[in-house]
Amino acid sequence: MKPTPVLILLLLLTAVPAAAQNGSYNDHFTGSAMRVDLFHTGTKTEEVFAVDRIMEEGEWPGPRVTLVDPHEFGEYRVRVEDAASGRLLYSSGHSAIFNEWQTTDEAAKGARKTLHETVRFPFPKKPVKLVIQRRDRTMKLNEVFAATIDPGDPTRVDRARRPNPFTVGVLMDNGSPAEKVDILIIGDGYAKKDMEKFRRDAKRFNDVLFRTEPFAKRKKDFNVRTIEVVSHESGIDIPDKNDWKNNALGSTYNTFGSARYVLTEENRTLRDIAGAAPYDAICILVNGTRYGGGGIYNLYATTYTGEERKDQEWQMEYVYVHEFGHSFAGLGDEYYTSSTGYTDFYLPGIEPWEPNITALNDPAKVKWAWAVTPGTPLPTPWDKSAYDSLEAIRGKLDRLAPDYYEKRAPLYKAAIDLLKTSPSAGRVGAFEGAGYASKGLFRPAIDCRMFSLSLVDFDPVCSAAIEKVMDRYVR
């Protein structure tokens, strides 16, 4: 039987996402991005926000169909509501340097700190209420900031078009920014004479990412651009060596006292430069030779790019992909034997928001139940004591000592072999040891790019989380 015109129309409508049917994006937003810069101030137990400035930037590259974030990732959640009706128009999750700082010894001693932050969302056509929610220690979201923004107020919204002094390049172009995930690679600590190295580095690490699953099979869903940021000096700050550089973005080692943790607190500078290109995710390549990097969900990822030992260059590739897992998909660190600057990142017995870590309060309802290999017990047995013994010896080695790698080699090989040959290798279960804690937190697989310092793939749970984030941008 031939379908009637009415039936054809109904079939077409059901094939189109609901947000597209009612034209919600075009009803409420322009094609531009709104950038709200904030001062984030507080102590270990208190925080306040204050608006620094509100700006109109270039094309909004983010989701235009799935405007309300379907995921529960991030320490914070941004809500953009219609000021008149209260209708939720847009939301997204993120984490911040501030919430990490609150878990450090400095914060525990009563220090007060101010950090600069940015939230971005589609530029609204009418007044909106911007709300920021924060998770309490039980993971419940509570409002911590709200402000009404009138996009038509010329005294409040900066619409200036600022010149970009740096070259914007294209590594991958697979379509409109509105329909792709847009990665922006920026260099820090690259002087003018280092720019050819930056170009090689950007290509190398981009190739590494898209050789790694699930990014490899979804390569066509991404655009990748670069900005050739010129620093006055080569390199970035290494405070514990009293080595200071005049680098453009202010990236530095020794964040929170950890020699290998690389972040920048110069958010305004970073955002002013990044605004020259459409971006959903920022990767900062630092022109440094010390092992290091960092990644915070929906903020940025950093990676060192100058390994002095040829036989250890693979570590840079590990760091780039690992840190992008943090910043792009909100994946938590699954390792627990390496030192960090945190003192109480996760509370015992509280289920973390990260998709790849669980407190396993109820094994029958583990958050990745859909992926558990049939017949796998929860918790899942593994040779943890043997692994911990090897890691304890390795942890006592001085990473900065000249003979570090020679002493590490046999310990590293034994630990990796233990993971590879385990009877539980390749299974999804709940393996104790994750999130910087040896006890009480569990990871989905015995090994993963978020667990061991190796080029192993993401486990199925991490891969699924990555693809869910991709889907929001492209579907």
447: enclosing H helix or E strand: none
Residue 189's φ and ψ, nearest 5 degrees, are 85, 15
Q: Beta-strand (E) ranges in 84-155?
A: 88-94, 113-124, 128-135, 141-149
Domain boundaries, the chain: 19-158, 167-329, 363-447
CATH, domain 167-329, list 3.40.1710.10, 3.40.50.720, 3.40.390.10, 2.40.110.10: 3.40.390.10
Q: Beta-strand (E) ranges in 322-473?
A: 431-434, 437-443
Return the CATH fold of 19-158: Immunoglobulin-like (2.60.40)
Residue 333, sorted as left (phi over 0), alpha (psi -120 to 50) or beta, turns out to be: beta
Q: How many CB atoms lie within 10 A of CB 311?
A: 9
Q: pLDDT 10s digit of each residue in the chain, 475 long? A: 444 443 333 333 333 343 333 358 999 999 999 999 999 999 999 999 999 999 999 999 999 999 999 999 999 999 999 999 999 999 999 999 999 999 999 999 999 999 999 999 999 999 999 999 999 989 999 999 999 999 999 999 999 988 899 999 999 999 999 999 999 999 999 999 999 999 999 999 999 999 999 999 999 999 999 999 999 999 999 999 999 999 999 999 999 999 999 999 999 999 999 999 999 999 999 999 999 999 999 999 999 999 989 999 999 999 999 999 999 999 999 999 987 877 778 999 999 999 999 999 999 999 999 999 999 999 999 999 999 999 999 989 988 899 999 999 999 999 999 999 999 999 999 999 999 999 999 999 999 999 999 999 999 999 999 999 999 999 7
Q: In what order do the strands lie in the sheet with 141-149?
A: 88-94, 76-82, 128-135, 141-149
Dihedral sign (CA 410, 416, 421, 422): positive
pLDDT on residue 1: 40
Bridge-based pairing of strands 293-296 and 76-82 is: unpaired
**Both tokens assigned to 187:** 């260099």
415: enclosing H helix or E strand: helix 404-421
pLDDT on residue 399: 82
Dist. CA 207–CA 209, nearest whole Å? 6
Dist. CA 323–CA 299, nearest whole Å? 11
Cβ 237 vs Cβ 245: under 8 Å: yes
How far lies 11's CA from each of 8, 66, 179, in Å?
5, 21, 23
Query: Among residues 62, 3, 8, which one has the least CA distance to residue 31?
Result: 62
Dist. CA 180–CA 321, nearest whole Å? 19
3-class secondary structure, 395: helix
475: enclosing H helix or E strand: none
Dist. CA 172–CA 169, nearest whole Å? 9
Dist. CA 129–CA 198, nearest whole Å? 41
Q: What is the 3-state secondary structure (H, E, C) of 265-322?
A: CCHHHHHHHHCCCCCCEEEEEECCCCCCEEEECCCEEEEECCCCCHHHCHHHHHHHHH
pLDDT on residue 267: 98
Q: How many CB atoms lie within 10 A of CB 271?
A: 19
Q: Which residues contact 415 (CB under 8 A, 6 or more apart)?
A: 387, 390, 391, 394, 452
**Both tokens assigned to 319:** 């760091």
Q: Beta-strand (E) ranges in 110-237?
A: 113-124, 128-135, 141-149, 157-158, 167-172, 181-188, 222-228
pLDDT on residue 333: 97
Q: Which residues contact 471 (CB under 8 A, 6 or more apart)?
A: 66
Is the pTM for the entire model greater than 0.85?
Answer: yes
